[in-house]
Structure 1
Amino acid sequence: MVISSLSFRSTKRFFATVRQSFWYPRSRSDLDTVDKSYENFVEKLEISYPGSDDVDYMSWLRSVRNYSTSVNSEVPDVFYPDQANKTWSLLYARLRELHYLYACDEHKSNLKDLENLGVYTGEKIPQLSQINNWLSSKTGFKLIPVGGIINARSFLYGLAYRVFLSTRYIRHISVPFYSPEPDIVHELMGHVPLFGNEELAEFSQEIGKKSLGASDADIEKLAKIYFYSIEFGIVGDKILGAGILGSCKEIVHVKEDKCDFIGWDTKKILSMDFTLSSYQPAYYKTENLSEIKKSVMEACNLI
C-alpha cells in the first residue's frame, strides 16, 4: 500500500460478501436495517495506522465513525477540525487541477457546478447535507454516512435505491496523499460528481438492482462489474473511474505512464481476480459513456 487509492483496493467494500438469507430491502427505508458494520482498520493496523499517536485526531475519528442516521432523515453536519480542513485543502488543490486536465466531461461539468455553487471550495470539507441538496436536484442520489468499509452486498443494496453509503472522516495530515482506507476525499472527489450525472446514476442503480436477492457468487460478479467500470473505467482518452479520480498518483500513472488499456470484455472481467495492492495490470476502456453504460447493462443481464 503506497498511495491513496491503491489502499482503497485493499478493502472489502466491493468484494466481501455476507452469508445471509435472501431477504433484501423492498424500499429505500428498508436500507436502515441492512448490515453496516465496517472493517476496523485502526484495530487491524494498530500503531501503523496513520495518526495513531495523535490523541486529538483519534478521538475525533472515533466520534465521526460511530454515528448512524436513518436513510430518510437529514444528515446532520459533522465538525471538521482545522487540521482536517488543511488536509482537504492540500488534496483538493492538486486533485481539481488533475481533474480538469484528465477527467471525463461528465465529471468535470459537475465539478464545475459544485464549485460555482460554493459547495466545493479549497477552504473546508463539504458537508454531506450540502452534497445531498445538490444531488437531490440532479439525480435523486443521497449520501448516508457509515463508519468505514462495509460489505459488498449492503453497499450494492444502497445503489439500488440511489443511496451511496459514504465515509466522512478524512486521513491524517501527516500523510495527505495516502490513506489505508477510503475517506471523504475519495467519496467527494471520486464519486459525487459522477452521481450528479443521470446516465451514470442510472447504471450505478442498475448494478445495485441486480444485487437484490442475488447469491453470494452473483454479488461478487456484480462487484467486479462495478469495480472495472465505476471505480476504474476509462472512456475515450479520459478517466471515468472514481477510484482513479480520488488519487493524485493514480491519475498521473494512468495518464503519463505506459498503461495497458483493454476494450470492455465482460467474460474476461468476470473471470479476473481483483488487484488489491498495486496499480491495475490493465484498465478497461470504452469509447464513450453510452458505450460503457450499454456494456455494463449487458454484463448485468448475464448474471
Structure 2
Amino acid sequence: MELSGKGGGSRERAALGLTFVLRHGRRTGLASAARLLQLFDVKIHHIETRPARMPQNPAEDLEFFVKCEVLDCKVSSLISSLKKVAEDVEGNREGKAPWFPTKIRDLDRCHHLVTKYNPDLDCEHPGYTDPEYRKRRAFIADLAFNFRHGDPLPRVEYTPQEIATWREVYEKLSSLYPTHACKQYLDAFHELEKYCGYQADSIPQLHEVSAFLSERTGFTLRPAAGLLSARDFLAGFAFRVFQSTQYIRHSSSPMHSPEPDCCHELLGHVPMLADKEFALFSQDIGLASLGASDLDIEKLSAVSMHLILLGRYRTNERTNKAYGAGLLSSYGELMYALSNKPEYKPFDPDVMVIQPYQDQNFQQIYFVAEHFEEAKSQFQKYAMKIKKPFPLHYDPFTCTVEVLDSPQKIKKITSHVKEELKSFEKLS
C-alpha cells in the first residue's frame, strides 16, 4: 500500500456508492457537485438520476446515484463536503453490508421501483395506450410516494369502472378458493369477509385491512407506488410491514396483471398474512434479507418468488393446496397450477434459486412442500447460508433491528432469552 508524501494518509482507493439530491438539478445537472468531485479526484464509473422523492420543485429537483472510486482517506471529507452543496447525502462503501433499515420509520427510504412493467414505459402493458388509466395510476402512486411513517393510510375513492373490475376478479377467484386454497387462507378469507368488508361490490381500504392484520398477527400495511425492488419489498417483512399498491389492473385484462395491484395484494397476500405461522415465516424471510449482498438478495428473491407467490403444499388427503399470493390472485394460473399439467418438484431452495421465474406466462415447474412446516424448515436452513458480517436481533417492542457487532451486545441478548426461557419453565 502506498503512502502520500505529505500527510501519510492511505493511497488505497475505496469503491463508493453516493446518493444525493440537487435542488434544480434538472436545470443545472451535476454541475454544482462536479467541481467538488473533481477536487477530490473522484473516478466516476456510473451515474443515474431520478426525480427527488420529496421535491421542493417537482419539475426541477433530481436525485443522483454515483458509483465511483475515491481515496479511502478522503471518503469522510468527500461526504461532509458534498453535504454543503447537496441534500440527503449518503455514501456506502462497496464490500461492506449494504444499507438496511434498522427502525420501522426507515422504511420511508425503501421505495425503489422496478419500472419494467410500468404502463408509461411498457408497450405490452394493457394500460399503455390508455392515457386516462395512466393518469389515474400515477395519481394513486403519488399517494404512496408522499406517504411517511406515522401518516394516516391514504384512502382511495374508487370509480365505478374500477369497482366493476374488482367485482369480476373477486367473484371468479372466490368461486375457486374452496377447492384450491389452503385451510389457512380459507379461514382468514372468511374472517376478512365477516369483519373487514371483503365483498364483490367494494374495494377494501388499506387502513381497514391494516387494522385487521395488526390485531391478528402484528402485520401492518403501508402504500407502495408500484413493483418494489426485491431488497425494499423484503425489508418491509422484517418489521411485519406489507407494502401494498392501491391502484387496480386495467379493465381490459381483469384476469391478469403484469405488475402487482390491489387485487393481487388484497386477495393474494393479505389473507395469508392474517395467519400467525405464515406471518412469522414472512418476517423470517425479511430479516434474512437485511444486510445481505446483492447476489444473496437475488437468490433470496428467487426463493421468495416460489414461496410467497407460488407456494403450495400437500394436505393429509394428498391433494395440493395453494398458499402463494401469485396463484391466489390469478384465476388462470390457480387453475393451471393445480391441474397436474405442469411439472412438480420437491420443495428445495437450492433448486429454486436457479429455476427461472416466468413473468408473462404460467410457470413450467412448481415446487410442492409435503406440508407447510417443511417449507419453513427448509427455508431456515437455506437462510443460515447467507453470509453477513454480523448477526441481527429484532426487538418487537420498539420495532427496531439491532446489529450485534460486539460480544457485549450478544451477551445481553442471550441473557434476555435465558430469562424468558426460565419464565416459561416455571409455568410448565
Which 4+ runs in 1 deviate beyond 6 A? none
CA RMSD of aligned residues (A): 1.8
Shift, 1:54, TM fit: 4.3
The structure with more helix, counted as a fraction of residues: 1
Query: Mean alpha-carbon deviation: is it higher for 227-236 or for 273-282?
Result: 273-282
Check if 1:61 corresponds to 2:126: no
Q: Tell me how far apart the structure 1 counterparts of residues 122 and 359 of structure 2 sit (CA, whole Å).
A: 17
Question: Comparing 219-228 with 64-73, which one deviates more in the overlay?
Answer: 64-73
CA distance in 2, matches of 1:268, 1:254: 19
1:268 aligns with 2:351: yes
Cα deviation digits, residues 179-234 of structure 1 (max 9, x gap): 23221111111100000111111111111101111100110111112111111111
| Structure 2 counterpart SS, 1:271 | coil
Deviation string, structure 1 residues 39-94 (Cα, Å, up to 9, x no partner): 16122224x53244545433322210112312333202111111100100011001
CA deviation after TM superposition for structure 1 residue 128, in Å = 0.6
**Aligned counterpart, 1:7:** none
- Shifted more, 106-115 versus 282-291: the winner is 282-291
2:224 counterpart residue number: 146
Contact 2:224 2:245 in 1 (8 A): yes
Match 1:125 to one of 200, 203, 211: 203
- Taking the aligned partners of 1:118 and 1:201, their CA distance within structure 2 comes to 18
- Provide closer, same or farther for how the CA distance between residues 199 and 125 of structure 1 changes in structure 2, counting only shifts above 3 A: same
What SS does the aligned partner of 1:297 have?
helix
Deviation of 1:292 (Å): 1.2
- Structure 1 residue ranges without an equivalent (≥5): 1-18
**More deviation, 75-84/257-266:** 257-266
Per the alignment, residue 101 of structure 1 pairs with 179
Q: Distance in 2 between matches of 1:38 and 1:274?
A: 16
Are 2:286 and 1:208 aligned?
Answer: yes
Match of 2:71 in 1: none
Partner of 1:227: 305
CA contact (8 A) 1:203 1:297 kept: no
Answer yes or no: is the 8 Å Cα contact 1:229–1:296 preserved in 2.
no
Output the CA distance in 2 between the equivalents of 1:83 and 1:35.
Answer: 28
- What TM-score do you get using the length of structure 1 for normalisation? 0.88
2:121 is aligned to 44
Alpha-carbon distance in 1 for matches of 2:130, 2:230: 31
Larger RCO, structures 1/2 (Cα 8 Å, 6+ apart): 1
1:182 matches 2:265? no
Give the share of equivalent positions with the same residue, in percent: 35
Given the alignment of the two structures, is residue 30 of structure 1 paired with residue 106 of structure 2, yes or no? yes
Q: How far off its partner does 1:25 sit?
A: 0.7
> Number of aligned pairs?
284
Which structure's CA Rg is the greater one?
Answer: 2
Residues 143, 154 of structure 2: 8 Å contact kept? no
Q: Does the 8 Å CA contact 1:38/1:149 hold for their aligned counterparts?
A: yes
What CA distance in whole angstroms lies between the structure 2 residues aligned with 1:118 and 1:275?
Answer: 33
**What is residue 189 of structure 2 aligned with on the other side?**
111
Distance 1:49 1:272 in 2: 25
Q: Is the 8 A contact 2:122 2:128 kept in 1?
A: no
Gap change, CA 1:267 and 1:58, over 3 Å in 2: closer
Contact 2:153 2:206 in 1 (8 A): yes
Greater per-residue strand proportion:
2
Q: Give me the whole-angstrom Cα distance separating, in 2, the residues matched to 1:52 and 1:38.
A: 16
